[in-house]
Structure 1
Amino acid sequence: MCGVMSRLLLFRSTLLLMLVAPVAVARGADPVERNLYLSDHPGMETPRLYVAGRIVTVLRLEQPCDPTRTKLLGWEGRFEPVVCTGTSVLLVPLHDLEPEDRFLLLVTLADGTELPFTVTSRKERHGDRSGDQQVNVFKDRTAPHAVLASLHDSLEREQKLREENERYRKEDSVNHALAALVAKGAEELTPFQLRQKWLLKSHDDVEILVSVLTNKDQTKAAVVFNVRNNSATMSWQLMEARLWTKSREEPRPFALRSSREQWGPGGENGKIAVVMDTSIFDSKTGPERLVLELFRGDGLQQAYVVLEKRMMR
């Protein structure tokens, strides 16, 4: 359990039941693995390795390394001793690095080849503390293993592009267009009217202003999350939203648009708009209660909303 419930608001005569606290994991994160292709070009900068506090970063090499000549300069008090064993080099920072921190890692291979790396943090990008878990290092791009890895990278990028194109094709709907307008703050160009609004704050310095809108004949509804990230150092990111029946047995369709991909620290704010047809409340046994959930970038639940059709009239 990453945290405890920080706030529970129950409105018996209104539209929403809302919880804001990082309390539930949506899904496990995939291992962070990437391929690094070195270059002999004199203009190329030293390749970077991104680490995070108390998380092991492993370099996988094409040939064994020399433990006596592999060193991390200035590591004392900041890292555990560097481990060089077989074709692997292990780095373990004791704490998160600051954005300006730079450490020189010099890896010497068994044949005497020296490979320099800059060890740093991704926190310079809006507080991101994600690190490399495994980096596969290829010294020769033309070697069979490097060519195979490069082909795999290309196929993976192509697959992601296809999936993204297919997603955009499927999301070409009226509700997605309405969600895009609302996320951009252009509610006046939509048929929606404001019904209710709440301000919620959580212990992780995230402030959310929640608005509920419906059109005149109540055939469509929108839930808008205006997110402000008041953290001094950490960024905030939406991983996904989910809309289910209250029993969690059946997902329901909705359209989502966001005004930004990431909320930087220091009060950066932006909107997440969810638009739905109110017919999704209907079932054979009568109107269903629906649960709308937001999960932040690390997989923890940030907020949920319980919706009832009768309260939209």
Structure 2
Amino acid sequence: MLPLRSVLLVTLVASTAFASNERNKLSVRAILLSEHPGDATHRVYVKGQVVTTLRFEKPVDPLKTKLIGWEGRLEPLAVVRNKVLLEPLHDLDDDEAIPVVVSLVDGTEVPFLLRPPGHNEWSWTDQQIDVFKNHESNAAMHAALLEALKKNDALIEENQRYRKEENSEDHALAALLATGAVVQTPFRVVDRFSGEDGDTKIDAQVLQGKGKVAVVFKLKNVASEQPWSMKSVRLVTLDKGRERAVATRSTVREIAPGGSGVLAFVVDGGAFVDDGKLTSLLLEVYRHDGMRQAYVQLDPALIAR
């Protein structure tokens, strides 16, 4: 049995420490306006203290462009020629929706609805939205082509990742651990921890295997309304912050209030080697809102034979 202090678990829901890429993904996208009256109002996903720009082909009329019911939640709306700048003072609540009506100098009115980003890992914050009324303009066609290529590249990347994971021993082991089938794996439990922050209860296990280390989180969402989901996981060397691969599996995509779920992570022993020397690793779990929910420091003694 390893010494109890060979690993360290800390729950940090109040922490504002973000990985460099852990704020909601900033996105530039295009919107092609439709003249069909039944089309839904376009949604704009905004985040507190992040500027979102609506960019149009023609100049915007600042006197007729307005936010509705925005007081105390956004900075005053700003119009710069063909651009509208929006900046929430803080994150919008899940049920908040703020209407915006943009009027162009040619009399065209375009309605939008400001919404907070979702809690899923594929959610984003709009950094810029290019709005096109003339679908046949060169700029509109170019934007539509880039959007299609971006979606295609994302699908290709996702399919390649799924195929790689299907053949990955570490992902297979993580799947077994997530379902509780520890006896079917080469791992044994060497440490246990638990923590609670008011919204989430966590029971954690650190497991040791042949040249591999695993961490299993059993989570219970005790929040009254907010579902819990993992936004991302990050494994880095403790000294130099170098990214390392980690296999991840979970029993559920989202944990409803009152519900429970399991996250399992498997780390290959090679991840502990940095510049030819063994080093400690830091496994960080970020929840739906980008906050760091928990971290585990893994000592290289875990892979010692």
Unaligned runs of 5+ in 2: none
Offset, 1:254: 4.3
Q: Match of 2:286?
A: 296
Write the mapping of 1:174-193 to structure 2, written as runs, cut at 5 A. Answer: 174-193=169-188
* SS at 1:274 equivalent: strand
* SS at 1:179 equivalent: helix
Offset, 1:132: 2.6
Q: Match of 1:159?
A: 153
> In 1, Cα distance between the equivalents of 2:84 and 2:62?
9
Over 3 Å counting, the alpha-carbon distance change for 1:70 and 1:36 in structure 2 is same
Contact 2:32 2:132 in 1 (8 A): yes
> In 1, Cα distance between the equivalents of 2:11 and 2:156?
35
Range with greater deviation from structure 2 (144-153 or 39-48): 39-48
Unaligned runs of 5+ in 1: 1-10
Amino acid at match of 2:102: V
Higher normalized strand content (fraction of residues)? 2
> In 2, Cα distance between the equivalents of 1:284 and 1:112?
63
Amino acid at match of 2:169: V
Write the mapping of 1:86-97 to structure 2, written as runs, cut at 5 A. Answer: 86-97=81-92
Contact 1:15 1:307 in 2 (8 A): yes
Offset, 1:62: 1.0
Q: Does 1:26 align with 2:58?
A: no
Percent identical among aligned pairs is 35
Contact 1:227 1:269 in 2 (8 A): yes
Over 3 Å counting, the alpha-carbon distance change for 1:72 and 1:247 in structure 2 is closer
Of 207, 215, 226, the residue aligned with 1:223 is 215
Over 3 Å counting, the alpha-carbon distance change for 1:42 and 1:188 in structure 2 is farther
Write the mapping of 1:139-150 to structure 2, written as runs, cut at 5 A. Answer: 139-150=133-144
Q: Match of 1:237?
A: 230
Deviations 1:130-165 (A, max 9, x none): 643322212232221111111111221222222223
> In 2, Cα distance between the equivalents of 1:190 and 1:62?
59
Write the mapping of 1:98-117 to structure 2, written as runs, cut at 5 A. Answer: 98-117=93-112
Amino acid at match of 1:85: V
Over 3 Å counting, the alpha-carbon distance change for 1:49 and 1:23 in structure 2 is closer
Over 3 Å counting, the alpha-carbon distance change for 1:252 and 1:240 in structure 2 is closer
TM-score, normalising length: structure 2: 0.78
Offset, 1:59: 0.9
Q: How many residues align?
A: 295
Range with greater deviation from structure 2 (34-43 or 181-190): 181-190
Contact 2:26 2:125 in 1 (8 A): no
> In 2, Cα distance between the equivalents of 1:105 and 1:291?
46
Amino acid at match of 2:149: L
Contact 1:23 1:302 in 2 (8 A): no
The alignment's C-alpha RMSD in Å is: 3.6
Contact 1:70 1:106 in 2 (8 A): yes
Offset, 1:226: 2.2
> In 1, Cα distance between the equivalents of 2:66 and 2:270?
64
Q: Match of 2:38?
A: 43
TM-score, normalising length: structure 1: 0.76
Over 3 Å counting, the alpha-carbon distance change for 1:254 and 1:41 in structure 2 is same
Over 3 Å counting, the alpha-carbon distance change for 1:32 and 1:285 in structure 2 is closer
Q: Match of 1:3?
A: none
